[in-house]
């Protein structure tokens, strides 16, 4: 609960920013609120709203969101045995799969703690994100862009802290992480938010070299 609270805090800050930006741009309050409940994907939501505010249609906005969310296919494979086996658990768990919940769960040392970490962090993150979006949407443009205060750095900082323990697993993991991070940084100025995460998956191409396959 203590460790998850850091992720929840960062999520609430970004959620407030998203709700405020969407409404300040001219969208009605219900759009960011419903999108957060149904879509529940930060980068995809920001990008979809960006397309709408730029004059694009709903099809273009939805396509952008779907493209950015393709990374959750890999995340789903990583936590498939953690979520549970019942239909309700798998349906709800799939909705809670995010960068943060997957990183938090996989950082735990055993299956029981991974499952607990996934559900505790996931349910809390969902609640805080939606409350933050609602608060930001109701406040409208009064808050301005929270990135002005540097609060947008909270999420990356938390994610770095979550994945650092994985780098101890061996040189193959560190090599893949370094390549993926370098590729993501290289394309960040040229592509929409969320796409660098997809590009970073190319770092897995070097994982099997030097013993990575043997330890998988």
Are residues 104 and 199 both part of a single domain? no
> How much is the pLDDT for 30?
93
Question: What's the domain count of the chain?
Answer: 2
> What is the span of the domain harbouring residue 122?
2-141+151-165
- Tell me the C-alpha distance between 75 and 106, whole Å: 10
Q: Is 31 exposed, middle or buried (0-12, 13-18, 19+ CB in 10 A)?
A: middle
Residue 146 lies in a domain: no
Q: What is the pLDDT along the chain (216 residues), one digit of tens a residue?
A: 888 888 898 888 888 888 888 888 788 999 999 999 998 988 788 878 877 877 777 887 888 788 778 878 888 888 888 888 888 888 899 999 988 888 888 888 888 999 999 999 999 999 999 999 999 899 876 766 666 666 556 656 666 776 777 788 788 888 898 999 999 899 988 887 667 877 888 888 887 665 544 444
pLDDT at 145: 62
Instruction: Based on the fold, state whether residues 103 and 185 are members of the same structural domain.
Output: no
Residues 188 and 137 in one domain: no
Judge if 53 and 158 occupy the same domain. yes
Domain assignment present for residue 206? The answer is yes
What confidence score (pLDDT) does residue 213 get? 47
- Check whether residue 208 and residue 115 sit in a common domain: no
Residue 64, domain member (yes or no): yes
Long-range CB contacts for residues 163-166, cutoff 8 Å, separation at least 24: 163/103, 163/107, 165/107, 166/106, 166/107
């Amino acid at each position: 609960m203590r460790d998850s609270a850091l992720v929840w805090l960062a999520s609430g800050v970004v959620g407030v920013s998203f709700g405020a930006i969407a409404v300040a741009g001219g969208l009605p309050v219900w759009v960011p609120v419903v999108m957060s409940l149904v879509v529940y994907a930060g980068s995809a939501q920001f990008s979809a709203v960006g397309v709408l505010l730029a004059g694009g249609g709903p099809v273009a906005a939805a396509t952008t969101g779907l493209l950015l969310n393709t990374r959750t296919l890999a995340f789903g494979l990583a936590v498939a045995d953690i979520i549970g086996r019942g239909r309700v658990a798998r349906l709800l768990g799939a909705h809670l799969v995010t960068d943060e919940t997957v990183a938090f769960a996989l950082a735990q040392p055993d299956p029981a703690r991974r499952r607990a970490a996934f559900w505790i962090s996931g349910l809390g993150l969902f609640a805080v994100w939606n409350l933050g979006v609602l608060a930001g949407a109701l406040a409208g443009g009064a808050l301005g862009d929270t990135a002005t205060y540097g609060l947008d750095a909270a999420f990356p900082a938390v994610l770095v802290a979550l994945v650092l323990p994985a780098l101890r697993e061996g040189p193959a993991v560190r090599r893949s992480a370094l390549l993926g991070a370098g590729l993501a940084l290289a394309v960040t100025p040229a592509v929409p938010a969320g796409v660098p995460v997809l590009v970073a998956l190319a770092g897995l191409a070097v994982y099997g070299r030097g013993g990575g396959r043997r330890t998988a």
